[in-house]
Every structure is written in C-alpha cells, then in structure tokens.
Amino acid sequence: MSGERITILGAGLAGSLLAIYLARRGYKVEVLEARPDMRKTDISAGRSINLALANRGINALRKVGLYKAVSELLITMRGRMLHDLSAELSFQPYGKNDEEVIYSVSRGGLNELLLNTAEHDHGVIFRFEQRVMAADLPAGSVRLRDINNGREYVVDQTPIIAADGAGSIIRRQMSKLPGYQSREDYLTHAYKELTIPATDHGGHRIEAHALHIWPRGDYMLIALPNLDGSFTVTLFLARDGTPSFETLSSPESVIDFFKQQFPDALALMPDLADQFFTNPTGAMGTIYCQPWRFGGNFVLVGDAAHGVVPFHGQGMNAAFEDCYEFDRCIAVGTPVGARGWERVFAEFETRRKPNTDAIAAMALENYVEMRDSVRDTGFHLKKQLAWELEKRYPDKFVPRYSLVMFHHVPYAEAQRRGIIQQEILTQLLGNDDTMDNVDYALADKLIAERL
C-alpha cells in the first residue's frame, strides 16, 4: 500500500471510476468537482440522461468488482428498432447471438454508484462545488474557487489527474504551451433531449429492449429506454439550414416537423413543444490533443483527452477503458515521485492515443450509418454476409461494429481490420443484391491472405 496522495479533477464517470482503481492500489485520493453532490441535490447528471454501455465499459467495471451492482441499473438493448416515415418498424439485431447486446444505463444512477463505492468502500474524499479555475503546470498546482463562498485557493498535491471533461481547464492550459497540438472539432449538427413518458403503470410505450432510431438521411431521432418506463429521446439535427434547430423556432414549426418526419414519436410526446423549448440544445465535437501530460505533474483522462461524438456510444466506454489501462500502466512498476508518474503517464498516452484517435474516427463515420445507411438494402446485405463470414471464420472475420462493442481488441485494430473486411465484402458481393452468388472459395482465400 503506497499511501501516496493523488488529486483528481472532476467526479464524473472517468474521475470517480479512476478514483476507485487508485484507492484499491492504496493511494489516498482526493477528488475536486465543480458541481454540487448529485446524491444530495436534484441536478441533472449533465449531458445525456442515459448512455449505452458496452463490453469495454463493463470490463473496466468488472475489474473493480462493480459489475453486479451496475447490472441492476441496466436495460438490455438487443438491436436497432428502425421507424420509417409511415411508422413501420423493422428490427436489426446488433450481434450474431443473444449475448451480443448493449445496455442502456442512467448516467446519474451509474455516477452515483461510482461515487458511493469510491467514498464508502475505498475512503476516497470528494469535495464538491470546488471549481478549477487555472493551473500552473510547471509548479504542479491548480487554483480553485469554492463556489459556496467565492474563496480562491491553491492545491499543489501532485500527481494531478484531469478528468474534467471535454471543456477541460487543464487541457486548455496545456494548449497554450509552445508546440502543443490541440483541436476541438465541433459538428455543424447539435442535439436536444426529449422524453417519452412511461405508461400510467410504469411500463414502456414502445419496445423496451431496443435502441430506437428514426433515420432520416441528414438527421435522426433516437430513443433509449429507462428503468422507470420512460425513454430518453435525442434529436440530432443541423444547427442551421433547412430543416434545422434554427428553423424550428415556434411550437407550430416543431409539431409540423415531427408530424411529417416522426409521426409515431410525436404521438408519444404530448408535451413535445414545451419540452423542446425548455430543454437545452447541446453541441457535439471531437477533442484531439497531444501530449496528454505535463511531466509527472498532470495527465488528462476521459473526455478531457479525447472527447468523441456520441454516435458509436463509446465515449464513456473509452473513458472507462482509460481507467483500466491506466491501472495496468501502474501495475508495470510502482511509480515513485514525479519521475515514476511521468513514466506511467507516458506509457498510458502511448497505449491509448492511437486507439482513441481510431474511435474518434469510427464515431464520426457511425453518424452516417445511423442516420442514413441503416435504411439501405446494400448495408443490410453486407451485414448479413459479415455475420455469415463470422460464422465460418469466427477467429478471423468479426464485423467492425462487433469488434468495437463486444470485444476488447484495441480500437485501432478494430478500425484496421474493419477497412480490410469492408473491402472483402465489397469484392464478394460485387453488384449483387443477394448473397446467392457469393464465392466462398474466394472468401476463404481473401480471408486467409488478408486477415
């Protein structure tokens, strides 16, 4: 047991899970969080009320013995339920069998479980309503403001792990360093959350075990189930142009738009216009930066280092995988003092950066898949053939979506194999619109040679 102190900035998903990992190694962890304690105050948990949890996140939770408790918060989603313009439904399973599923989880419920476990089982100290204002990177200190009384003070307990999300103060401070590479690429699309209420008996009004999608080409609506019978619905739409958040400027225009584009969803949200103008419109972007660390004093984790757009449902999963990998980097040799931490931070960044770059790219591609390609018969045919090839070559050919969601191969490897597999599928299908003419001898050869 080390007894060494560690400071974490941000008690969100990454900060609170990493606190558990580090406390289990004997470190004394203090977490400083700008927001009030969500267990005591009725605050929204932040962006997105619920999230899709998949294998990578589950793996990281399992490692610290949390999966059993988390499983009580989960609703299985077995596939995509597509809603077309005439409210016809079609179901596309996510995986090749019943085990290949993802889960909907409440962000608030999950975050509270992590806070409770860290605090009660591992002695982690949380100080809420303490906002990081600035950092002195060479000195290894941060200036904080106590929101309750406005008092400012300095914390210089290094190492300092910045889990302060996509708007990270520490990353922005690092980005002022000469030669520092940092980019925040925001989409021209934004999102707004809405709710489909539960039935009077607390039931779900539409299929509970699916992620619902209303794909409409340039925009889409999705809905994820909640345990209380409600659904959290998200509209993804351009900020300006037609249609856009800009053109949906009156209750009539919103209702009209939903009547034309999402008539069955409109019928489930009687107070749509009220919700639409009460709930905020959120931005989505990808964060790229390098390095993620400053000596042995500071390191970025989770969205602070690599925020991604939400279309692969992997931001939290990647942030949880960070915690798992960070812990593995410590396990290589107990870090002592700044030099020891510098080694851990460097190793962590080396392992993670190529992979988080890969998931960033795949998440961007998945937006087109969700809002558009899922409607295309060629897309389904490729999916069918991919599953057939997986059945025949389970160790070699695994669809990219499955590699990302149900396996643990590094994201960069999933991306690399995904490109080759797409080429093989295209070559095997040619211009056919059925699988009848697939040449499996050729498949055998291509897979042996290329995968």
Q: Which is nearer to ligand FAD, 14 or 344 (CB)?
A: 14
Q: Which is nearer to ligand FAD, 137 or 169 (CB)?
A: 169
Q: Compute the residue count for the chain.
A: 451
The Cα–Cα gap between 418 and 412 comes to 10
Q: Which is nearer to ligand FAD, 15 or 390 (CB)?
A: 15
Sign of CA dihedral 14, 17, 21, 26: positive
**Residue 330: alpha-carbon gap to chain centroid:** 24
CB of 398 to ligand FAD, least distance (A): 20
CB of 102 to ligand FAD, least distance (A): 8
Report the residue number whose CB is nearest to ligand FAD. 12
CB of 93 to ligand FAD, least distance (A): 18
CB of 344 to ligand FAD, least distance (A): 18
CB of 131 to ligand FAD, least distance (A): 5
The Cα–Cα gap between 430 and 300 comes to 45
- According to DSSP, the β-strands at 5-9 and 28-32 are parallel
CB atoms within 10 A of CB 204: 19
Based on the number of CB atoms within 10 Å of its own CB, is 441 exposed (0-12), middle (13-18) or buried (19 or more)?
exposed
Q: Which is nearer to ligand FAD, 164 or 390 (CB)?
A: 164
CA angle 242, 245, 250 (to 5 degrees): 100
Q: Which is nearer to ligand FAD, 51 or 330 (CB)?
A: 51
Phi-psi region of 253 (alpha: psi -120 to 50; beta: other; left: phi over 0): alpha
The Cα–Cα gap between 378 and 226 comes to 32
CB of 423 to ligand FAD, least distance (A): 28
Q: Which is nearer to ligand FAD, 2 or 279 (CB)?
A: 279
Q: Which is nearer to ligand FAD, 32 or 447 (CB)?
A: 32
CB of 12 to ligand FAD, least distance (A): 2
Q: Which of 64, 4, 1 is nearest to 28 (CA)?
A: 4
* One-character DSSP codes across 222-268: EEEE-TTS-EEEEEEEESSSSSSTTT--SHHHHHHHHHHH-HHHHHH
Helix axes 411-429, 337-371, angle to 10 degrees: 30
Q: Which is nearer to ligand FAD, 95 or 382 (CB)?
A: 95
Q: Which is nearer to ligand FAD, 319 or 330 (CB)?
A: 319
Tell me if 105 sits within 8 A of 91, measured CB to CB. no
Contacts with ligand FAD by CB under 6 A lie at 9-15, 32-35, 46-48, 51-52, 131-132, 163-165, 167, 169, 191, 234, 282, 302-304, 310, 313-317, 319
Phi, psi (rounded to 5 degrees) for 342: -60, -40
CB of 326 to ligand FAD, least distance (A): 12
CB of 85 to ligand FAD, least distance (A): 24
Instruction: Read off the amino acid at residue 260.
Output: Q
Tell me if 159 sits within 8 A of 27, measured CB to CB. no
CB of 51 to ligand FAD, least distance (A): 4
Q: Is 367 helix (H, G, I), strand (E, B) or coil?
A: helix
Tell me if 112 sits within 8 A of 39, measured CB to CB. yes
Q: Which is nearer to ligand FAD, 47 or 352 (CB)?
A: 47
Q: Is 296 helix (H, G, I), strand (E, B) or coil?
A: coil
